[in-house]
Structure 1
């Protein structure tokens, strides 16, 4: 099976999520390397999980870690192709490394989207992919039109406003590269309630 659009899964912290998402052929699987985060994955845990997987790429996710520490810490792992950060000021120290860069940005107003649109030429020049998340901005026609403008200038992953019955239409309207969703904790080891994440992935399956 395959999916109709590019899919990134964030904050994977257990084998159940990882194997399910790999089986659904997601493109990019994220692991949190921020050492104080509840989803932090040690080098040993990363190897333990990824030894079971194949056919996808991995992204090391950071929040506030300084780029020098990022580049040192990531050497303790084997297999990352991408780095995700949230501090735009850190881009300059990371864009010329061997890793692809995703910049996660919270957009709570239309003005936030407009501010990002002004920077698209720079993001495109340095091959930075934007990951948009929000807990406040409704994904209405106005927002989708701004996201479309953003996606015309650089690569964009959409990480909010996603529902199984509308995700395909949203991707088509906004012209984003793909979508991003977050994994979660197991109910108990080996037992995982996927619910909405699974519904969205299954709605994107290409039928044989």
Structure 2
């Protein structure tokens, strides 16, 4: 079994999410390593979760930590292939590390895409993926659709908003984005997780054997 596109899952902090997403053959699984993040995963918890998994790569997710602190934190963990950050100024400081890089950008309106269109070439030159999210429900209008298509032509774009199980395949075909990113979340109680929205999209993308 496989999925029709590249998929990254963020905010993983429990075994229920991790095992489900691994079983659906997602490509990247992200864990927050900042203590003040509600989804923080300790080195012990990370090992306990990932010992059950195989066949995917892991992303160390940071919001505002300095690169020196990021690299120091990662000495406490084993198994990460990528670092995701949100500060442009931090990218040059990490590009010579042994990790692949993902730049997360959060937009609130169409105009925010214009700066990213210019920046996309820099990301491509430095082999950095762009994880594009929105800080509120943002509909993909024809104008946004066209800008996403233009950005995707210049760098590896993971789209994190504006799709559901009904429009995801059309968006993939028409924009040529590299893939999508989605968020996991807290368990309702240990071992019990509401997978509905996540599962609907992943199952839509599933390639039947």
Fold equivalence (TM over 0.5): yes
Give the aligned CA root-mean-square deviation in angstroms: 0.8
* Correspondence list, 1:34-183, <5 A: 34-134=34-134, 135-183=136-184
1:99-141 alpha-carbon deviations (Å, 9 max, x no partner): 1111100122222111111112211111111111111532111
Name which of structure 1's ranges 84-93 and 21-30 shifts more when overlaid on structure 2: 84-93
How far apart are the structure 2 equivalents of 1:42 and 1:153? 36
Name which of structure 1's ranges 114-123 and 3-12 shifts more when overlaid on structure 2: 114-123
Q: Secondary structure at the match of 1:21?
A: helix
Q: Secondary structure at the match of 2:25?
A: coil
Q: Secondary structure at the match of 2:180?
A: strand
Which residue in the other structure is 1:198 paired with?
199
Q: Which stretches in structure 2 are left out of the alignment for 5+ residues?
A: none
- TM-score of the superposition, structure 2-length normalised? 0.97
The answer to whether the 8 A contact 2:17-2:184 is kept is: yes
| C-alpha displacement of 1:165 | 1.2
How far apart are the structure 2 equivalents of 1:169 and 1:76? 42
Report the count of equivalent residues: 208
How far apart are the structure 1 equivalents of 2:39 and 2:117? 31
| C-alpha displacement of 1:179 | 0.2
The answer to whether the 8 A contact 1:107-1:137 is kept is: no
Q: Which stretches in structure 1 are left out of the alignment for 5+ residues?
A: none
Which residue in the other structure is 2:26 paired with?
26
How far apart are the structure 1 equivalents of 2:94 and 2:139? 32
CA change 1:136–1:20 in 2 (3 A) is closer
How far apart are the structure 2 equivalents of 1:37 and 1:169? 34
